[in-house]
Structure 1
Amino acid sequence: MKYFHRDITIHLGATCLATLDANRQRTRFHREIGGQLFAQFVDSSLVVERATCVKGVRSRFSFLPHRGEEQREIDALFRQGLHYVGDWHTHPEGTPTPSGSDRTKMLEIFQQSKHQLPYMLMAIAGLEAFPDGLFLGVVEAGQIVQLWPRT
């Protein structure tokens, strides 16, 4: 799936999408899960190749990741040429939208992370099939801007 923001194409690769899809909360017994997004920069494109799953505290309506595991993952995948570009998690709603705590968390991550990115990504996998069941937003300058897929 391709998205555009400013003059950059953001491409969610097949492996990334497969991870997001496989972890959707399909029943009322599924708890939220999440992880991180890793990409390569290719010309004027951001190619998100991997979505990982990290350990954390999970409930039906929340996910609190283990920060130490996240940093170890960032370090390991950076050595493989992949850059941490954002986070993802699930929501038990058809067409997902970020909650207030989602927004606060991602804005804090953007401000506190050591990076040279103009923005970071936030993805939320909902119950509906993609693209309707996938929220993708960019976190920048104190706001989160929703992106829409294009062909």
Structure 2
Amino acid sequence: MQFMSSWAAADNRTLLHFARSTLETFCRHVQVGDSDCEAGGLLLGSVHGTHMLIEQATVPTAWDKRSRYLFERLPFGHEAIARARWTASQGTIRYLGEWHTHPEDNPNPSGFDRSEWSRLSATRRDRRPALAVIVGRKSLYVELVPSLGRGLVFSPIE
């Protein structure tokens, strides 16, 4: 399985690039087996104007709640990694958003996903929309979600 690394919003004014290590993390957690649990974590990276480089995806911890159709990220572990990356990079590597898997080929956000994304976006100190990624078995769903309403949906760039 291979996901595309470069993505653009419909207006081509906002671009995203997933580092190879981020895509490898996604691939390791695809729900291919009938009993595989959802996985997820934080997306960390840098902001360049309206563009983003997603350099790291944290992986599920022992504290996270996981089942076939649910992933609940608990702060333990994830936040420590985010703080350490922020400090080590002198503030250039930051929290960009969240990722999780769905046990479907081409994922779409549930109503619960949308409400969680809006809540997360509303709590961001930098007031930026939150990046939300759902990892399916064959494709990714990528959206930049504001605190209210729908956001920019991204498509892969060939």
- In the superposition, the TM-score normalised over structure 2's length comes to 0.84
Asked whether the equivalents of residues 54 and 66 of structure 1 are also in contact (C-alpha less than 8 Å), the reply is: no
Please, which runs of 5 or more residues in structure 1 have no aligned partner?
A: none
1:46 to 52, 58, 62: 52
**1:89-104 matched pairs, under 5 angstroms:** 89-104=100-115
Look up the SS of the partner of 1:31 in the other structure: coil
Asked whether the equivalents of residues 25 and 31 of structure 1 are also in contact (C-alpha less than 8 Å), the reply is: yes
Q: Which amino acid aligns with 1:52?
A: T
The number of residue pairs the alignment matches comes to 146
Please, which runs of 5 or more residues in structure 2 have no aligned partner?
A: none
| CA distance, structure 1, for counterparts of residue 118 and residue 147 of structure 2 | 8
CA positional deviation for 1:16: 0.7
Q: Which amino acid aligns with 1:95?
A: N
1:4 alignment counterpart: 8
Q: CA-to-partner distance for each residue in 1:103-137, whole Å, 9 max, x for gaps? A: 101100000121242x2210011112xxxx11111
**1:1-80 matched pairs, under 5 angstroms:** 1-5=5-9, 7-42=13-48, 45-55=51-61, 56-80=64-88
- Output the aligned Cα RMSD: 1.7
In terms of fraction of residues, the more strand-rich structure is 1
1:120 alignment counterpart: 130
